[in-house]
Amino acid sequence: MQKTIIGICLILFSIISVFVVTKINTIKKSQEEENIDNQVFDYSSDDYKDKSVTKITIDGQEYTLIKPVLNENIKLPLHMQYLKDTVSENDLRLLMYLNNEILNMSKEIDVSFFDLTEEKLAYIYNILAIHQLDISYTDSVSYSLNNGKIYKLFPAYRHTEADLGRYLYDVNDNINAIISQIDRETMSDYEIVKTVHDYIIKNSRYVENITSDDLYNILLYKTAKCEGYSKLFTYICNKFDIETILVVGNTYETHMWNMVNLDGKWYHIDVTWDDLDEGVNEISYDYFLKSDNLIFKTHTTSDEFIYPNALEDYND
């Protein structure tokens, strides 16, 4: 049976994340796929009411087809709320469904009812790659294709379940140590944001050549590029319910920074650019809580997403 390899290159920040999408088992659609709305069983995730399921046999192989039915209100993490202005509701449902399945390390993910094309898969995986905060879960994904539509995904996970558990434990342990230094009762949102900004700069070192720019690397090895800086800042701020998002764009290269919502107003923060050269003890605030007018002198945002407007610099 013929197999075709397609590389989906997702250029993120200053590295390239490649999701290798493999067509496997291209099949003819069974008549039974047309009548799939009958049997229902319980599903554990709070994001879904139920799933409709049926089994079909194609070329002597049995397949289980599942239709997810989501609740009316899609539950997006705080740092992804802004996507409602950019991504369609159906794509948000698909995004959160895949995110849930990948976090649970599902070996097979049924997407037969999402009308998923190869182009849409690349689009959704790009959003997942950008917004996955803690660690990278997958290196590639294979899929079963039928008449141009994908009905089942087979993720290739970067870590074993045992290793993943250990990595996440180490990440959470380090995050809790940072959070314990911040007094939510006495500190304002501004003070928390500044504390997180300063902590990351004092405890991290920008390194050009690293294999994984995620929270595990910056927390355990104290090295990162713009993605690691930005995701750690987002992760901690959102722990305190301070809405912070990731911004993708360009400077002299592909780049990532943050926007944060303070008292209903949005501001840009580039922790990476505020981290001065190694050996310099001072912390820069040149890119701390700045407006569009200032940040756009050196940064441009990607047109893939609609970001909030930052109308003015923050005045404390």
Say what the pLDDT of residue 68 is: 47
Residues 30 and 121 in one domain: yes
Q: What mean pLDDT comes out for the span 195-206?
A: 92
Take residue 111 and report the two structure tokens written for it: 């997407």
Residues 6+ apart with CB under 8 A from 290: 267, 268, 269, 310, 313, 314
Instruction: Flag whether 202 is in a domain.
Output: yes
- Mean of pLDDT over the chain: 78
Q: Pick the last residue of a domain from 157, 186, 218.
A: 157
CB 174 within 8 A of CB 220: yes
> What does 78-143 look like in DSSP terms, one character per residue?
GGGGGGGGTS-HHHHHHHHHHHHHHHTT-S-EE-TTTTB-HHHHHHHHHHHHHH--S---EEEEEE
What's the token pair of residue 278? 């190694």
Looking at the structure, tell me whether residues 239 and 138 fall in a common domain: no
In a domain, 69, yes or no: yes
pLDDT tens, position by position, 6-37? 333 333 333 333 333 434 333 333 333 333 23
Asked whether residue 272 falls in the same domain as residue 180, the answer is yes
b/e per residue 233-266 (b: at least 16 CB within 10 A)? bbbbbbbeebbbbbbbbebeebbbbbbbbbeeeb
In terms of domains, do 180 and 138 share one?
no
Q: In the predicted model, is pLDDT for residue 56 greater than 70?
A: no
| Beta-carbon count within 10 A of 89 CB | 11
What pLDDT is recorded for position 231?
94
Tell me what pLDDT residue 73 has. 59
The residue segments making up the domain with residue 259 are 161-301
Do 141 and 36 belong to one domain? yes
Indicate whether 149 and 51 sit together in one domain.
yes
Q: Does 147 lie in the same domain as 20?
A: yes
The pLDDT tens digits of the residues spanning 222-273 come to: 888 999 999 999 999 999 999 999 999 999 899 999 999 999 999 999 999 9
Q: Are residues 135 and 174 in the same domain?
A: no
Same domain, 131 and 258: no
How many domains, the chain? 2
Residue 82 backbone phi and psi in degrees, to 5: -65, -20
At which of 157, 181, 213 does a domain end? 157
Would 211 be classed as within a structural domain?
Answer: yes
231: Cβ–Cβ under 8 A, 6 or more apart, which residues?
A: 133, 214, 215, 246
Domain contains 12: yes
Same domain, 14 and 148: yes
| pLDDT (0 to 100) of residue 192 | 97
- Tell me if 306 is assigned to some domain: no
For the stretch 89-114, pLDDT in tens is: 889 989 988 988 888 889 999 998 88
- The two structure tokens encoding residue 299: 């940064």
On whether both 116 and 229 belong to a single domain, the answer is no
13-22, 125-134, 183-192, 197-206 — which one is most confidently predicted on average?
Answer: 183-192
Percent of the chain with pLDDT over 90: 44
Burial class, 23, CB count within 10 angstroms (exposed 0-12 / middle 13-18 / buried 19+): middle
* pLDDT level of residue 62 (50, 70, 90 thresholds): low
pTM for the structure as a whole: 0.77
Total count of residues recorded for the chain: 316
Examine residue 197 and state whether it is found in any structural domain, yes or no: yes
Q: Are residues 99 and 209 in the same domain?
A: no
Number of Cβ within a 10 Å radius of residue 201:
19
Nearest one of 35, 37, 39, 30 to 57, comparing CA atoms? 30
Distance CA 71, CA 100 (A): 14
Number of Cβ within 10 Å of residue 79's Cβ equals 19
Average pLDDT (135-155) is 86
CATH of the domain at 168: 3.10.620.30
Final residue in a domain of this structure, among 157, 178, 205:
157
